Amino acid sequence: MVTITFPDNSIKQFAQFPTGMDVAAGISEGFARNCVAMKIDDRLLDLRRPIKNDAHINFITVNDDQALDILRHSAAHVMAEAVLNLYPDAKLTIGPVVEDGFYYDIDMPPISEDDLGKIEAEIQKIIKAKATFERQVVSRQEALDIFTDNPFKLELINELADQEISLYKNGKFIDLCRGPHIPHTGMIKGIKLMKISGAYWRADQSREQLQRLYGTAFFDKKQLNQYLHLIEEAKKRDHRKLGTRLDLFSFHDEAPGMAFFHARGMDMWNALLDYWRAAHRAAGYVETKTPVMLNRKLWEKSGHWENYRENMYTSVIDDEEYAIKPMNCPGGMILFKTRSYSYRDLPLRAGEVGLVHRHELSGALSGLFRVRSFHQDDAHIFMTPDQIETEVLGVLHLSEKIYQQFGLTFHLELSTRPEKAIGSDAQWEEATNGLKAALKQYGREYIINEGDGAFYGPKIDIHIKDALGRTWQCGTVQLDMALPERFDLTYKGKDNEKHRPIMIHRVIYGSMERFFGILVEHFAGKFPLWLAPVQAVILPITQDLSDHAGIVKKDLDAAGIRCEVDLRNETLKKKIREAQVNYVPLIITIGEKERESKTLSVRTLDGKVKMGVSMEAFVTPVLGHIKKRILDDIIL
């Protein structure tokens, strides 16, 4: 007799060992059809697994977040089977689930995007067969015999040591896998292969080069279509294309992964930086600046040389080794040590928009989203232990204020001690508990990511959501007790004794470059007036009005409004259309009438035109709109 306890604490008994599917069907056939997997005492298992002991059960249905990962894991197997059906000599390696889909790395001759269609057709045959996913547990030798012709699988099997080796079979296809999987292939209602790229086995450039096939899958074809529509919308907003079209930034072979910002891009950059500085001054921060290159001894003391060396650029100067900073933190430590502090001086909030460099593989570079050179809007807060909660809360509230300025929402994730870390267990526990207390006081729900903290301390990551519903990890709040110890930072306490300060590392934009790119895509190039690189364009109707247009520009420049004059030999209609396509918020046309009356004819992005506007009647509301950093379009 097996007793099953359900989430509502109701109980059902079975005379034989039931499978998860048996238990689900006992609730209703309709419910069973929507079940993907089950949790038995917090272990995620296939529905076909027999339950041999009394257990608490939770069912994962198609509506649960975990279900999609299980479906996509299964879809990776189906795609791999389809590839082997079409390319029998291909050798499979690994096929994990990733954000928004899955991929499989395969040792096979190069294929093109044109080949994806026939692979998808083969996938549909496998789906229609509704083949069940069956789990098998085998000995090491049995596994080696099954995959004797696949050196990649043999390598993985030989690394499993004494772990249980499980395989999954669907139809004639079998793969090394821990599972779990959906009950049968027919549950994959929407699947699409997205792209092909190259990859090295185990990301090692000295190993075999593989073909990486990406795909995505859903329980519903409608969900797939919605996702594909989102992808198309994202392509239209691609910051790399908009950055070129709007003349904001560019990349060049002379500096891979390092952006060149154009004049218009710098106008927008400075608007972002001006807002950052104003918000931080109001929150009690001071601004500092530290060198880009520092001696190796500093990086050894900070722990970066041991824990982060492979990502750092180095050079030799006067027979000594130096490194270009990948982070601003050690320079902040040196600054703190330049004077003595009392507990009355704390907290000390010091911000720095510092230029850092990190080595990224060339294949990982992606516009402004993944670069080798970028500016971090760092701040280091030095404080007493009893100030932890207040200061973390202060960072969270400041982050919320700044993100709201751009119409961005966010969620929070707490990351705990990783395997590779510095500092004692006691320090990590105190730091982690401090962050948890602040999050509780803040009052928002948060996710815990075990083992994903920085090597020097636990952290809160802030994931913003853009206009398309995509999430981006930008802000982070990291509590650090280890670096103050390493750098022997002290302050004088109320007892006149020396004490060790606790430190917060934090960013809000994160990387200025990456945040810039996110905003380009979030606004799709249609920036609010305060952020727009070109706030107004002046269009003289005829060439003999060029001088007057120049006078108007000089007045607007003096008022602090970013403007340009379009003197191209094009029709007025075409100039207006191009300005609208490039989302210039204010289009000013100058004719003979405007010159004589010293007025402006102004077109706003809503298409409305207001004529006879005096310079004062134009400048005053525009500057007020800019000063308040209003998100909505200006209406004159």
Catalytic residues: 329, 358, 376, 378, 380, 459, 505
Which amino acid does the sequence have at 588?
A: I
Cβ burial of 258 (10 Å; 0-12, 13-18, 19+) is middle
With CA atoms as reference, report the closest residue to 560 among 187, 183, 271, 300. Answer: 271
CA distance 415 to 448: 6
Q: Half-sphere exposure of 431 toward its Cβ, with a 13 Å CA cutoff?
A: 32
| Helix/strand/coil for 210 | strand
What H or E segment, with its residue span, contains residue 168? strand 165-170
Which amino acid does the sequence have at 458?
A: P
CA distance 392 to 381: 9
Q: Half-sphere exposure of 600 toward its Cβ, with a 13 Å CA cutoff?
A: 24
Q: Which residues pair with 322 in a beta bridge?
A: 295, 315
Q: Which residues pair with 511 in a beta bridge?
A: 376
CA distance 57 to 49: 12
Cβ burial of 494 (10 Å; 0-12, 13-18, 19+) is exposed
Strand order across the 471-480 sheet: 286-287, 348-357, 373-383, 502-507, 471-480, 459-465, 409-415, 446-449
Q: How far is CA 437 from the centre of its chain?
A: 26
